[in-house]
């Protein structure tokens, strides 16, 4: 059974195939009806959501299926019922299980017991569906993903940074993470990204110099400095003189990127903190395409996973 728990669960050729399907489905949204029946897809949220809920519901409906949104707090997953029991209840009734939660290890448990493909809709460690949508968005601006330089600025230890490392390395890109020395990605994820990049012709760099990270980049991305579940650290992370201030993507920092560079942000965005209005609302920003592409990319992913499960 194939799952999508982290970005490197797709090999380079598989990622390329999913992105090819995503572009095709954007052009012809009703060409794939693989969930016709309708088959149910369980979509569980333990953390807040807007784009992920809407895009997964649209993706499942668009494929002819029935999205079933489950409030994880109401269900009490891991407290009222064990993850394994939830997996054994939802799995047999679903074509796939999609879960946004905290611990990556819980998602792995779900995958072990569900008996159907399990998809990571964000954990503390990874947000791989977002990166698929981001790669689709970048591919709309450039001919080829391989060889592009992708710079991410901000919290280098969060789910977006770690997913960009693995997902962009899989696509053969040169990934740069600009982050304070105190917030580097995990050593294991970094090593894995280097290993993947060695096979795809990409490369990986982590630096505490924001200008070095951005200089000449084709894509510049950032993310909130306060991820969901870290609200108690908001004052420390957003306050004056906080660790991420030098990594704010303003016009001056963005000006070091290539002239044709595009800007990405997974949203929600906190204007004036990780990015300024002139960049996120400016002509190089692709954030609204990025949000729309969640639906197309997830449709393509679900279609591919369901096909794998039945073959
Ligand atoms: N790093 C952010 C991503 C939001 C889509 C968070 O986990 O809150």
Closest residue by CA, ligand 1 atom 8: 227
Catalytic residue chosen out of the listed positions 237, 294, 296, 298: 294
pLDDT of the residue at 200: 98
Q: Are 3 and 121 in contact (CB under 8 A)?
A: no
Q: How far apart are the CA of 31 and the centre of ligand 1, in A?
A: 31
2 is catalytic: no
Catalytic residue chosen out of the listed positions 6, 21, 51, 127: 127
CA distance 203 to 252: 26
* Distances from the Cα of 79 to the Cα of 76, 82, 249, angstroms: 5, 6, 40
Question: Model's pTM, two decimal places?
Answer: 0.98
Q: What is the DSSP letter of 39?
A: P
pLDDT of the residue at 143: 85
CA distance 63 to 84: 28
pLDDT of the residue at 13: 98
Given phi > 0 = left and psi -120 to 50 = alpha, else beta, which region is 78?
left
Q: What is the pLDDT of residues 163-207, one digit of tens each?
A: 999 999 999 999 999 999 999 999 999 999 999 999 999 999 999
Q: What is the pLDDT of residues 250-282, one digit of tens each?
A: 999 999 999 999 999 999 999 999 999 999 999
Q: Which residues contact 279 (CB under 8 A, 6 or more apart)?
A: 249, 250, 251, 254, 263, 285
Residues of the chain with pLDDT under 70: none
129 is catalytic: no
User: How far is C-alpha 156 from the chain's CA centre?
Assistant: 14
269 C-beta closer than 6 A to ligand 1: no
């Amino acid at each position: 059974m194939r799952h999508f728990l982290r970005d490197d669960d797709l090999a380079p050729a598989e990622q390329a195939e999913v992105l090819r399907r995503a572009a095709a489905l954007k052009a012809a949204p009703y060409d794939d009806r693989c969930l016709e029946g309708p088959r149910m897809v369980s979509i569980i949220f333990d953390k807040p959501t807007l784009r992920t809920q809407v895009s997964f519901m649209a993706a499942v409906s668009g494929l002819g299926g029935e999205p079933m949104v489950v409030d994880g707090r109401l269900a009490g997953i891991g407290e009222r019922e064990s993850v394994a029991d939830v997996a054994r209840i939802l799995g047999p009734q679903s074509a796939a299980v999609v879960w946004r939660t905290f611990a990556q290890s819980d998602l792995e448990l779900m995958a072990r017991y569900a008996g159907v493909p399990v998809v990571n809709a964000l954990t503390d460690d990874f947000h791989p569906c977002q990166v698929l949508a981001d790669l689709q968005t970048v591919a709309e601006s450039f001919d080829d993903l391989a060889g592009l330089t992708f710079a991410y600025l901000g919290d280098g230890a969060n789910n977006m940074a770690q997913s960009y490392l693995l997902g962009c390395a899989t696509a053969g890109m040169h990934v740069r993470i600009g982050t304070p020395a105190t917030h580097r990605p995990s050593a294991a994820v970094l090593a894995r990204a280097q290993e993947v990049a060695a096979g795809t012709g990409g490369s990986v760099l982590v630096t505490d110099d924001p200008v070095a990270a951005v200089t000449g980049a084709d894509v510049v991305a950032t993310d909130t400095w306060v991820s969901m579940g870290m609200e108690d650290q908001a004052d420390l992370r957003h306050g004056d003189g906080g660790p991420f201030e030098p990594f704010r993507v303003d016009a001056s920092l963005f000006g070091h990127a290539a002239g044709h560079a595009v800007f990405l942000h997974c949203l929600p965005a906190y204007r004036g903190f990780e990015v300024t209005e002139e960049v996120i609302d400016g002509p190089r920003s692709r954030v609204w395409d990025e949000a729309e592409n969640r639906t197309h990319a997830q449709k393509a992913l679900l279609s591919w996973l369901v096909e794998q499960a039945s073959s």
